[in-house]
Amino acid sequence: MNLTGITVSFHLLPQGREALKGIVPENEFLEGFVVDENHLGVWLSLPEFMPATEAVLLKWEHFSTATLEYEPGAPGERLPVGFKR
Q: Which residues bind other proteins (CB under 8 A)?
A: 2, 4-7, 33, 35-36, 45, 47, 52, 70-76, 78
Q: Are 77 and 35 in contact (CB under 8 A)?
A: no
**Chain CA centroid to CA 71, Å:** 16
Q: Which is nearer to other proteins, 19 or 36 (CB)?
A: 36
CB of 29 to other proteins, least distance (A): 16
CB of 4 to other proteins, least distance (A): 6
Within a 10 A sphere around the Cβ of 63, how many other Cβ atoms? 21
